[in-house]
Amino acid sequence: MAANDARASTTPLIEKRSIDYIPEAERHGRLFSQFTLWMGANLQITAIVTGALAVVLGGDVFWSLIGLLIGQLLGGGVMALHAAQGPKLGLPQMISSRVQFGVYGAAIPIVLVCLMYLGFTATGTVLSGQALGQLFGVSDSVGILIFASVIVLVTVLGYRVIHFIGRVASVIGVIAFVYLFSRLMSQADIGALLQIRHFSWSSFLLAVSLAASWQIAFGPYVADYSRYLPSQTSSVKTFLAAGAGSVIGAQVAMVLGVFAAALSNGQFAGHEVAYIVGLGGTGATAALLYFSIAFGKVTISTLNSYGSFMCIATIISGFRGRLEVTRLQRLAFVLAIVGTATLIALLGQHSFLGAFKSFILFLLAFFTPWSAINLVDYYCITRERYDVTALADPNGRYGRWNPLGISVYVFGVLVQLPFISTKFYTGPLVAALGDVDISWIIGLILPAALYYWAAKKWHSAVPEHLILPVESGTPG
């Protein structure tokens, strides 16, 4: 542990690596930082809004809380399984998809991941802009621009600063949420709300889907923030640290959202930030709550921007055959990503809530099959035996395109279409199921089963052990 601390103390403030492999000599950090990072990322206003949607869209308090918890556990398990890959591979999450999709083929899911990051960054920026606008007495649009500037700075600094902000955000978040819950308990009869129980499958599964989609959406980048941990770090402990932080943080935030929406008499939608702060008081207290909301969004918005940078760099490096990215290129990527997200936020800030619900549910159709394929391959087929050196070589072990992974992925997306229910698209079987969206369940189970069966028959040769760059001369 002392050696680990010494490495951390000598690590430069500005991260020098990007999507390339992290050598053992540069590994640092503790498992507790995974817990605080993901707790801080979830104790924030967008999670509150997500939980509130379960009630805003027709659910009662009791069954919404149960549904959200089940969704957290299911989706959080998927998310945490991806987190455990980071220390073993020393790589960002999406670059490992080249094993299943090919060096070029991995660009297919990665492009969709980039779109997800843009959407989440934009929607989070809207809420943060509202908070900063109230805090500084400026318009929401100016608040959005202030917030975007902070995100650019933190994203450029990179991994170590992101983890530090995650620790600070978790402390601020815990204090703010304890205070808000205490105020809520003193102002409302929570017991009476819990006694109103009108079970509906559609509302219940909506709550499950909201929480599960929230957690699964972290899957494409969660290993980006565990990849600096020493390679001997326990996979089980990494799973528990990241998963517990994310599940606990998100469930606490969503519980607050459920109660707030139930008590709002229709005043929550469209005024989410102001309503939540109003629960806590006025004057200096309100200013502190606005600050905590904005700071809480810094963590998750930085994760989205940093993840976007990783994804774009992964796509470009796959086609040019190198993994290195200069600091100037990093800055250019980050400015382009945050600039685009900010533009989306400015244009869409007045129609946020309904669009957000449709956005996060529709995204499940594209990310659950990717998660299923990646996890089945890593844990059941290759069993952690990757050839990291071949991930940058289109002519190497994994090739340019992997028809097996791509075909199962396309199947996984298409098989969900009859079951999707969003404003973008509603499948033909949704009405027969009572307007219940079960697409994410189909998208996890069927591609996982198909890939496992097909990979057992047609998967390319698997190395006898994990091959790292320092072992480039070792036969695979």
What are the pLDDT digits (tens) for 306-326? Answer: 888 888 888 877 777 665 667
Tell whether 12 is covered by a domain.
yes
pLDDT value at 113 more than 50: yes
Number of domains in the chain: 1
Distance in angstroms (rounded) separating the CA atoms of residues 44 and 256: 11
**Closest by alpha carbon to 215, among 72, 375, 50, 34?**
72
Rounded-to-integer distance, Cα 40 and Cα 273, Å: 18
The arithmetic mean of pLDDT across residues 364-380, rounded, is 91
Q: Would you state the pLDDT for residue 87?
A: 93
Taking the CA of residue 259 as centre, how many other CA atoms within 13 Å lie in the half-sphere pointing to its CB? 22
Q: Measuring CA to CA, how many Å separate 98 from each of 123, 233, 338, 367, 401?
A: 30, 24, 26, 16, 9
Q: Is position 383 within any domain?
A: no
- Output the pLDDT for position 13: 64
Q: Residue 454 falls within a domain, yes or no?
A: no
Give the chain's mean pLDDT. Answer: 84
Q: Any residues with CB less than 8 A from the CB of 313 and at least 6 apart, and which? A: 18, 19, 325, 329, 330, 333
What tens digit of pLDDT does each residue of 7-22 get?
Answer: 555 556 677 777 788 8
Q: pLDDT tens for residues 84-108?
A: 999 999 988 888 899 999 999 988 8
Q: Is residue 440 part of a domain?
A: no
Domain presence at residue 98: yes
And the tokens for 325? 């990215």
> Which CATH number belongs to the domain containing residue 314 in this structure?
1.10.4160.10
Whether the CB-CB separation of 430 and 396 falls below 8 Å is answered with no
Q: How far is Cα 124 from Cα 120, in angstroms, rounded to an integer? A: 6
The DSSP annotation for 9-77 comes to: HHS-SS---SSS---GGG----HHHHHHHHHHHHSSHHHHHHHHHHHHTT--HHHHHHHHHHHHHHHHH
Residue 180 lies in a domain: yes
The model's pTM: 0.86
Percent of all residues in the chain with a pLDDT value above 90, rounded to a whole number: 28
Question: Which of these ranges, 15-29, 188-202, 345-359, 360-374, has the smallest mean pLDDT?
Answer: 345-359
The pLDDT of residue 363 is above 80? no
E strand or H helix at 237: helix 235-263
Q: Mean per-residue pLDDT for 197-204? A: 85
Tell me, yes or no, whether 118 lies in a domain: yes
Query: Which range marks the domain in which residue 143 is found?
Result: 2-353
Lowest mean pLDDT among 62-76, 148-162, 337-351, 411-425: 337-351
**DSSP type of residue 378:** I
When pLDDT is averaged across residues 189-206 and rounded to a whole number, the result is 84
Question: Does 369 reside within a domain?
Answer: no
Q: Is residue 268 within 8 Å of 94, Cβ to Cβ?
A: no
The runs of H, that is alpha helices, within 217-234 are none
Burial class (CB in 10 A: 0-12, 13-18, 19+), 347: exposed
Structure tokens at 134: 């109230």
